[in-house]
Amino acid sequence: MISFRRASLETTTTLQQAAAERNSTITSDSLDHLLVNVTGNYFPMYEHGALDEFYLGGGASLLQNESLRGIIGAYRRSLEVAEVFDVTDLQFQNVTWTPFLRLNANLPQITNAQTDIPGVNMERYAADVPVLQKLDHTVLLSSQEFVNLLLEMKWVHEDALNYYPTFQQNSTKLISALEAELGIKQEEN
């Protein structure tokens, strides 16, 4: 999640800088690649089953360690908050960004520019979608609506990235507490 959001934030910042330059040197092809890197989202599947079973099945009341109960509750809440960021991103993509591109850009052309997934190491990732007419998307850089949408997108990624350290802390705290409760000796690094 973190590497995807950092890569998306970096691309958004690059697009904002290109839009702010009067004589941007960005080419139409490189712009298509940047656009595809901020089009779509990463929607992880969070595992709730065990926690929901624990709470709904009355497991929380059986646990004697009140501190561990609190840590589990904090972790459960941090999962919910992390999901809110992902849902916000999904809504932005589906309700705002994609409809804007649908009206102002050539989606098949942009899709064909995808060579990777931001923040993910993998082999070439490309689509071969027929393009009826190629457009020069650099005109988007002079659109105030485009610049405004980039700023909104940046906020979505920054908000999530600002929260992830809390999520990581709660995860680490839960693992340590569970290991201590179960008597698992942590390996030394």
Q: Give pLDDT tens digits for 39-65.
A: 877 666 666 666 666 665 666 555 667
Give 161's pLDDT tier (boundaries 50, 70, 90). Answer: very high
Please say if the pLDDT value at position 104 is more than 90. Answer: yes
Percent of the chain with pLDDT over 90: 39
| Tokens representing residue 118 in the block | 């931001």
pLDDT for res 3: 86
Q: Who's near 98: CB < 8 A, 6+ residues apart?
A: 39
Bridge partners (DSSP) listed for residue 117: 120
Which of 44, 19, 53 lies closest to 34 in space, CA to CA?
19
Question: Which stretch of 5-14, 67-76, 134-143, 146-155 has the lowest confidence by average pLDDT?
Answer: 67-76
Give the SS3 label for residue 40: coil
* Distance set, CA 64 to CA 68, 70, 164, 185 (Å): 8, 11, 29, 21
Give 154's pLDDT tier (boundaries 50, 70, 90). Answer: very high
Q: Is 171 exposed, middle or buried (0-12, 13-18, 19+ CB in 10 A)?
A: middle
Stretch 146-162: mean pLDDT: 96
pLDDT for res 163: 93
pLDDT for res 122: 55
Please say if the pLDDT value at position 179 is more than 80. Answer: yes
Q: Who's near 57: CB < 8 A, 6+ residues apart?
A: none
pLDDT for res 138: 94
Q: pLDDT averaged over the chain?
A: 83
pLDDT, tens digit, for every residue of 15-29?
A: 999 999 977 889 988
Higher pLDDT: 107 or 47? It is 107
75: number of Cβ within 10 Å:
21
